[in-house]
Structures are given as structure tokens and as C-alpha cells.
Structure 1
Amino acid sequence: MDDSRTEERKNFMKPTYQDPLKKREQFAVSLRKQKTNDIIVAKRRRCFDKNAESDYKESEQYRGFREFDQKPEEYERRLNDLIPELFTVAKDESLAQKIQLLLNKLVTNQDYSTLEQLTIITCIRRFISSSQEPPIDEILQTNILDILCTVFKFNDGPEDIRMMKLETVWILTNLAHGQSDVIEPIFYPKYGFIGSINHLMKQNDSAMIEQCFWFIGNSLAENEKLRNLFLNETELIDVMYGQIMKQKISKTLFKTLIWLTSNISRPKNLDESVVLKCLAIAEQGLFLDEEEILSDALWTISYLCDTQNDNVIDKAAKQQNIARICQCLAEKEIYVYVPALRCIGNMLTSNDSQITDICLWEGVIDRLTSLLFSTNSNLIKESLWALSNITAGTQPQVDKFVDSPAFDRVLALAKSQNIDHKRESLFVLCNAITGADFVLRKRILERGADLMMSTLISGLYLQDQKILKNLMEAFDCLLDLDRFYDWKQKDISVAHMFEVNDGLNALNEVQKHPARIIYEQAYHLLESYFQEEEDQDRMDDAVGQGFNRDGQFNI
């Protein structure tokens, strides 16, 4: 098959057409947001687990100042001595008002020791952490950002100062979980938080690095502008890559690192050098059994492969990666098999046929066939999209599909009342037909028989220009079998099969389509394969209107 033809069919099914892409994204985005919210809530509540053994445990993850955690009564006593009104007159005030009270104490009492300052900063963080939905916009209207940026100016050294900076980054982490327009003041240049975070995450301090990663991950979310700001004004990627290259890294830091990588990878237009480092980080998490790490690694790879740059897809589509991703398609957890499906779908958009061959070798068609029986409409649609990129491949790849149980399931879905399933199934079948030679087309026709013909013809009543174009190309390939095999007997020809399934009426309707290219394709089919019938019909009409067969009036 002509390579340029393969590329045309591959590019047609690539997720660049806006409407299908938008629909496919909705399900994945909802899952992603739900997962992110769950993680953030867990992060906020961590310090309130009274059964926690220590601040760091084996992971060195920061959980709050050790002394306050081990001696909560001492913390309460210190806080009561410093701000007694917090437990009396201000007890019933709003969260923002309580925070403002604490901030005022820091401003008006310059003689506080670092431990006393740490006590107040910790209290602010705990107030925000204890609220599942803190009023971030109200909190940012206080002078909290002025106080926090001052903390970052303290000289490094004493442990109390280090703890204060950790608490400060944690506060910023929770504040950055707000809406993009609400948290915008955090990134005003006058506060210098980006520079401070860049300095802190380069220190040899795992707890500080992880907390910085959490802040950046929350800040980025789906905000491409902030992502580019961090990438351009910090050494973030180099720090992340340096961490992953270490021989030993704590599990919690690794989990946060993979999650941050997925947030960085989601928006498009990344520099290729950044893409390759993000890919290297994701690959480290791909082979772990930890569900959250595996899920974020899969999302990262899926985002990076959602590109027209085949070089990036080639780097990601190593055989061991594809084997692992295909394995994930059979997982029970939705957070694993959904991003795995997106990974495979995006990898299959590559014009490198070897990638598709590897996927087929790893049993991807069987995995996708199982998903075609899902009760989830979006999963079926994604699976059909992936199959359409397989059938847009080489002849042997199309042959694998035709010989698989997927063919029968796709044919059944093409009759579905669900318009998305019908549309995507028709793409799969059309790609298979137009990518096959005459022998394979005959097999496809014989296997589908009247059911396939009637199904394809029903697609002609859709108004989608792209599917109509592909359908008529498929019909052109099928009808040409009559010439190739010399099927002149009317009752066994493809043309006869087309007619008895009301194909001519469908073509007449297609000719009314406003797009000229669609009209011309329909006209071509009628003229090339049904001209004799059309001429006979016109002659019969003429006779019925008073003309004889010599073109003269009947007297």
C-alpha cells in the first residue's frame, strides 16, 4: 500500500479534529480532576492523623514540626500564651478573620522568637489544612502573601527557620489549589515566590523538595501560562530529572514527582528536550505496582504522545513500554486502564508501522475487544478510535483485525443508536476496506455480507462530511471488486448487493450535501458503477412522459 495513502488515513484519525477530541477529553479530564482533588484533600488532612508515628517516618516526608506533633499539649499551650483571644472572642470568627488575627500578631510583635513565629505560622497552615474547601480568595485578601515572602528572606541555618519555610511552602501549596484567576496574586513578581521556590528545591533536603514539587504541581493544574513561567524561570526540569537519576529516592517523593510530571505534560507545546526528560521520569514509574504512581506515569506518557511529532512517539513506544501498557489495559482499576487506553490510542497515530506491529504482537486487539463490551460509552469510543488507527495501517495489520473477534463487535457497534459509536465504528471499517488489497477486500465483504453493506449504507444518511468522504471511498473500493473478479452476474455482484440494500436512494440523498466534494464523490459512484441502470431509468421516464425509444413524440 502506498505510504502516502497510509499517512493520509492515519492523520485523518489523529486526535486533531476538535470536536471528537473535546468529547474524548471530557471523560479523562473528569477522572483526572477527581483524582487530583482526592490527593489534595489527603495532603491537607495528613497532619491531623493523631496516630501518626512521626514527622518523617522512613520516607522523610514532612508532616509538621516534630515537637508540635509529639507534644500537642505543648503546642496548644504556646498558642494560648501567644494569642489567647483566638480561643475566646475570635473563636467564632471566619477562617480568614482568624488568619488575619494571627498575621497581625506577627507584624506587631517584632520580639517574637523564631519558635514563637513558627508556632503562629504552623497555626495558619493548620487552619487552612483543616478546611476541605478553604476560602482562598478571602485569605488572599489578607496580608498573608507579604508575611510569607518575608519568611523566605530569613537566612538558612537554624532548624526553626527551616521548619518555618517548610510550613510556608505548605501554606502556599494549599492556597495554590484554588482557581487560576483567584491564585494569580501568588505569582506577582513583587513577592518573588518563584525565585524562592527555585532556591529551596535545589537544596539537599528531600522534605523541602517534595513540598516545593507539591506547590508547583498545584499551581500548574491545567494552566499553560504558569507552566511555562516555571519552566522558563526555574531549574525545575533539571531538579526533577536529577532526583529520578538518584540511586535512592523515597517513595512519597517519587509519587509526588510523577504526579508533577503529569501536570507539566498535560498542556501542549513543550520543548522536545523537556518532553524527553518528562518521558524518562514517567518510564521510571511505569513498571511499579503502586496504583497512583502507575496511573500518573500512564497519563504523562499519554499526554506526551498526543502530538504530531512522530519522534516523540517513537521514543515512548519502546517494546517494553508497550508491553506494560497493554498489560495495564486489562487492569481492574479505572485509574489505570483509562490512561493506558489513551497511551495506546496516541501511540497508534504514529506513521511508524513498527509501533503498530509491536502493539499487535503484545495482543492489543484482544485487549481493545474486551473494552468494546464495556458499559462505559467513552471507553468504547476510545477503543474504536484506537482500532481505527490499526486499520489505517499496513495490509498485514488490517488482516490481523479482520481475522479477530474485534471485527464482529465493530460491525455490531456500527449499527448502534449511539451516534459516536456508529461514527467511530464506520471509521474502523472504512479504513480496513480502503487499506486492503482486492483479496482482503473480498474476505471483508464475505465476512460482513449484507449486514456490513446495509450498515455502511446507513452511514450515508449521516451529515458528517468526514465520514461521508471515507464511506464513499470504501464503496468505491468494494464496487471495484465487480470489475476485478468479473462478477457480471447481477445477483452476485457488489453493485446488486448495494442496490438491494437501498444504496441508490442513499446516494441520491448524499448528492444533496452542501459540500461539493461530497456531491462529486456520490456522482462518481453513480456514473462509474450504476450508469447503465441510470440510463435505463431515464429512458423509462421519458417513455412514460410521451417519448418513444427513438427520442420522438408518441403520436
Structure 2
Amino acid sequence: MTSRENQRIFEKIYTQNDVKKKDNLINEKRNLQREDFLMEKRKEKLFLKTKETLLSDSEQHPFDLFKLKEDLTSSEIETKKKALIGLRKMLSVEKDPPIQQIINFNLVNTFIDILEHHDSVDIKFEIVWILTNIASGTSEQTSVIVESGAIPILAALIQHENENLKEQAMWALGNIAGDSHRHRDLVLNNHVLDIILKEISLTTQVSFLRIATWTLSNFCRGKPRPNSKYIKNILIALKKIIFSEDTEILSDGCWALSYISEEKVELITESGILQRIIELLTHNDFEVQTPALRTIGNIVSGDDNQTQLVLNCSILPCLLILLNSPKKTIKKETCWTLSNIAAGNSHQIQALIDNRFFPVLIHILKNADIDIKKEAAWSICNAILGGKEIHVSYLIKQGCLKPLLDLLEFADVRLIKITLESIETILKIGKNQNCNENKFITIIEQAGTVEKLEILQHHKNNTIYEKSLDILEKYFECQESLSEHPSHEHVNDVLNNKQQIPDCSFDFS
């Protein structure tokens, strides 16, 4: 077991493993859950390209699938093409496209048959566009395309000489891969990644690189993650892609890196790409800043060595800029990133002090919205729990106690626990071993700590009750009877505080 494992509980929000303790301290490195926005992105990708050809409400008349199916078998190319355009427009409507009706008419197999045996680029393009739209539907609907044998056919079309057709084929495969890890692996097993990487090396066309980068990001998604051999090859491409000047390419490239960093941090740190990710933290577009910051946050949720690699790239000035971002989600995620750095070793805590992060974090703790305040609190608590006496004294002089103690009145159990651990750590550090004096006791009492701890005697969580009682008895020699406790009416007013600290999830919509 490493020294880091002896130091703290390393707790991931979406798992309950990797528990590490010493002296009952709770100093946490935490990974964030992010709402899966894949379907949203697939629709965005779909309607970005189809918006110019959507049917208006007045044009959305009932359609005759029997007639359209009959036209598809016509020997007349124009008749066949007109039928395909009609079907494509039907599927391009934003609300309730008739995907299932088309599947029920067994038209997918008809599309594949035409795709295999027809030479017209226009015909192929319309069919691939239709398949792209179907693959933006449910997982069951996407499975129909997969089971029809479309993947190898679409893979071959990525190498077609017609730019529009090859882009559309890759787009369809991106939707299939983004549907589930099973479909993603089927796409990868058909050598699609090798084909895309080859095409990327041969083109500078922005439209192709946008779709290619988005498709690569879908290859990195889903659990279990793809085999490391695929990730390593994707990283080779991403090392070039993220030097693009196109915002959409940069954004999707950084999202790909963020997915990789959730479980494969070492592949990123070994790839030589870290410095460029940090540079993108100060990009002028939030759509690039957000996934770049998420990637860095995931890396510093790893061990001390991985955190130090990030610090060695001069990231702290960038994070200080982001900490003052006008965008709430950026500020919140920056606080989360800092909380994981603060959960590192004493040298890493000192680096935060040297770069004057804590006055800003304490200001956030006093004044920010509650969800951002929560992340700032984790940063300060982690620094207290893992820091030395000089670090704790510094934080107290900066005025962290009062706003930290105010958190005891909120309803978030995890935050109350770590705040109590922080209070106990301060009192442990302040106790003089040679006498009964405690250099922090007066300032803690003046902050109203005793009253708040007494209120927590009535908390429904037994761990909180026991911890608050232990602190009172050990450091304040409080032996009051229950009748001397605050009135139940006051206790209920505090414990039923309606301010709730939300779950640690980010919505980038």
C-alpha cells in the first residue's frame, strides 16, 4: 500500500471503492459525474446538417410508405432518387421522425441492398443520410442497422472519392458507435478506426475533420472502455487534431480526452499531450475550456505523481483565471479541480498557497451560489486535512473558519462530515502536547462552533451525532444535559434548512 493510500479516503462519487484511511481523516479526491449528453449531441450533429432541408409543418402530410417502397424498386434512377429524398426529409423532422414505421416496412434491408448494388453517388448519399438519421434513434432502432450488415459497407464508403459521401458514412458510423459500448466495439472491430486515421492524415478539410473528431470522441465513450490499443492510436491522432484552429474540432477533441482520462490517465500523461490541454484552458470559447478543464480535473483526481505532472506544466495561473470565470460551470469545475490538488501532498498544498488560491476560495465560500460554494469547501477542507500546522494556521488567518462552520447548517451529510473532520484536525494541530492549552480553541469558540456542534447532537445521521459529541467532549469538555441543549424548535429550524447542496453533477447543456 502506498503512502498516499495510508493518508486518506479516496472516494469516487460514482463508485465506493479505493478506500484509504489514516487517523479517521476524510481527505478526498473525487471524480465528477457528468450527465450523458450523447443523444443531445447526436441530434445536434443531425440537425446541423439537415436544417436546410427540413420539411415545414405545412409539408408534413401523411405519407404513403407502400408507394415509396414500390418506387425504390423502380429501374428509373430519378424515381428511386425522388423516393429516397422523400424518406430522408421525413426522417429529418425534429419531432417524432417516423423511424419505426420505416423499420417496420423492412426498408432498412432495401436500403442496404441498393447501397451494395447501385453505382450512383447521389443514390448512395441519400441512403447513407437516411441510415444516419435512423441511427440517431433508439438503441433498438440502431441495432436494426447493425444487424443489416451496414457497418462494413459504411466503413468502405469512408474511403470513397466523393467528399460528401465519405463524410456522411463516417457520421453514420459515429452515431452507431455512440449508441452503446457493444455497437462501438462492433464498429472498431471492423477496422473503422484505422480507416479514419488514414483519412485524417490525408486531408485538411475542416468539415471532414469535424465529423472525424466527433466520431473519435464516441469511440472513447462508454463503459467498459475500448481496448488500450485503440485509445493509444486515437491519442496519436488527437495530438495533431487539438492544434486545430477550429473551435468545434477542439471541443470534440477535448471531450475525447476527457473520456479517456476517466480511466486511462496514464495514457494521456505518457502521450506528451498534457501541455497543449493546459494551453486550451485559456481558449476564448467555453465549449473548449469545459472539456479541457474536465480532462485536467480527471488527471489530478489520480495519484500525487499524476497531479505533479500537471503542476509542472504551470497550470496554476490558468486555474486562477478560470476561478474568476463569469461562467458558473467553469468556476464550479475549477473549484473541483483545486479540491483534488488540495487532496495531494503538503508540497502541492503549499503550491496553492503560494499562488494565492485560498483567499479567492474563501471569498467563494462566503458569497457564491451553494453548488459552487460546496466545491470551494472541499478545497479548503482537503487542505486542512492533508496540510501541516503552517498551512492550517495560514487558512485560519485568511478567515476560513466562519464560512466553513456555516456549512454545518446545511443538509448535505457528506459535507457536514468532512467539515467536522476539518474542525477536529484543526483542534488536534492546535493542541500543545506539553500543556492543556490549544492555540485555536478561542477562535473556534468565537466562531460559534460549540452551539453548532450541540445542534448536531440531534442530527438523524448517527455518524454526525457521534463525531460532534466526540469533539465536544474531547476539546470543549461539554457535559451538559439534554435540557441544556438548544430548544428542539431551534434545532428543527436549522436541520430543516431548505438550502440543499445539489448532487455533484455538471450540466453543460
TM-score by length of 1: 0.73
Contact 1:96/1:135 (<8 A) preserved? no
The whole-number CA distance in structure 1 between the counterparts of 2:271 and 2:197 is 23
Q: 1:159-178 to 2 correspondence within 5 Å?
A: 159-160=119-120, 163-178=122-137
1:498 aligns with 2:461: no
SS of 2:34's partner is helix
Contact 2:13/2:32 (<8 A) preserved? no
User: 2:191 maps to which residue?
Assistant: 235
> How far has the Cα of 1:296 moved from its partner?
0.5
The whole-number CA distance in structure 1 between the counterparts of 2:244 and 2:327 is 27
Query: Which residue, out of 223, 226, 243, partners 1:287?
Result: 243
Query: Which residue, out of 141, 146, 149, partners 2:109?
Result: 146
Aligned AA (1:25)? R
User: 2:337 maps to which residue?
Assistant: 386
Query: Which residue, out of 410, 421, 438, partners 1:462?
Result: 410
> How far has the Cα of 1:413 moved from its partner?
1.9
The whole-number CA distance in structure 2 between the counterparts of 1:464 and 1:337 is 29
1:300-342 Cα shifts (integer Å, max 9, x gaps): 00111112xxxx2122135853322222222221211111111
Identity of aligned residues (%): 24
The whole-number CA distance in structure 2 between the counterparts of 1:423 and 1:487 is 36
User: 2:50 maps to which residue?
Assistant: 44
For structure 2, list consecutive stretches of 5 or more residues without a partner in the other structure: 18-28, 485-509
User: 1:547 maps to which residue?
Assistant: none
User: 1:324 maps to which residue?
Assistant: 276
Q: 1:339-418 to 2 correspondence within 5 Å?
A: 339-351=291-303, 353-416=304-367, 418=369
Q: 1:12-27 to 2 correspondence within 5 Å?
A: 12=11, 16=15, 25-26=34-35
The whole-number CA distance in structure 1 between the counterparts of 2:133 and 2:15 is 35
> How far has the Cα of 1:5 moved from its partner?
4.1
1:256 aligns with 2:262: no
User: 1:429 maps to which residue?
Assistant: 380
User: 1:123 maps to which residue?
Assistant: 85
> How far has the Cα of 1:154 moved from its partner?
1.7
1:94 aligns with 2:61: yes
> How far has the Cα of 1:14 moved from its partner?
6.1
1:8-30 Cα shifts (integer Å, max 9, x gaps): 35x33666579x9998624xx56
Bigger drift between 334-343 and 39-48 goes to 39-48
1:153–1:323 CA distance, 2 compared to 1 (3 A): closer
The whole-number CA distance in structure 2 between the counterparts of 1:14 and 1:92 is 49
1:334-392 Cα shifts (integer Å, max 9, x gaps): 211111111111111111x3432343344433333333333433322211110100101
Contact 1:279/1:304 (<8 A) preserved? no
Query: Which residue, out of 101, 104, 108, partners 2:70?
Result: 104
The whole-number CA distance in structure 1 between the counterparts of 2:437 and 2:247 is 61
> How far has the Cα of 1:297 moved from its partner?
0.5
Contact 1:328/1:336 (<8 A) preserved? yes
> How far has the Cα of 1:215 moved from its partner?
0.4
User: 1:4 maps to which residue?
Assistant: 5
Structure whose alpha-carbon radius of gyration is higher: 1
The whole-number CA distance in structure 2 between the counterparts of 1:222 and 1:345 is 26
The whole-number CA distance in structure 2 between the counterparts of 1:338 and 1:476 is 36
Contact 2:338/2:379 (<8 A) preserved? yes
Aligned AA (2:352)? F
1:333 aligns with 2:288: no
> How far has the Cα of 1:294 moved from its partner?
0.6
Contact 2:322/2:334 (<8 A) preserved? yes
Aligned AA (1:257)? A
Contact 1:241/1:281 (<8 A) preserved? yes
1:478-531 Cα shifts (integer Å, max 9, x gaps): 1123324868667xx311111121111222233333444333432332233223
The whole-number CA distance in structure 2 between the counterparts of 1:280 and 1:350 is 22
> How far has the Cα of 1:199 moved from its partner?
4.8
Aligned AA (2:61)? S
Question: How many residues are matched?
Answer: 465
Query: Which residue, out of 450, 457, 464, partners 1:511?
Result: 457
SS of 1:152's partner is helix
1:242–1:186 CA distance, 2 compared to 1 (3 A): same
Query: Which residue, out of 416, 423, 426, partners 1:478?
Result: 426
1:522–1:132 CA distance, 2 compared to 1 (3 A): closer
1:275-294 Cα shifts (integer Å, max 9, x gaps): 33333333331111111111
TM-score by length of 2: 0.79
> How far has the Cα of 1:225 moved from its partner?
4.1
For structure 1, list consecutive stretches of 5 or more residues without a partner in the other structure: 49-90, 542-555
Aligned AA (1:501)? A
The whole-number CA distance in structure 2 between the counterparts of 1:208 and 1:379 is 38
User: 2:23 maps to which residue?
Assistant: none
> How far has the Cα of 1:299 moved from its partner?
0.4
- Aligned-CA RMSD value: 3.6
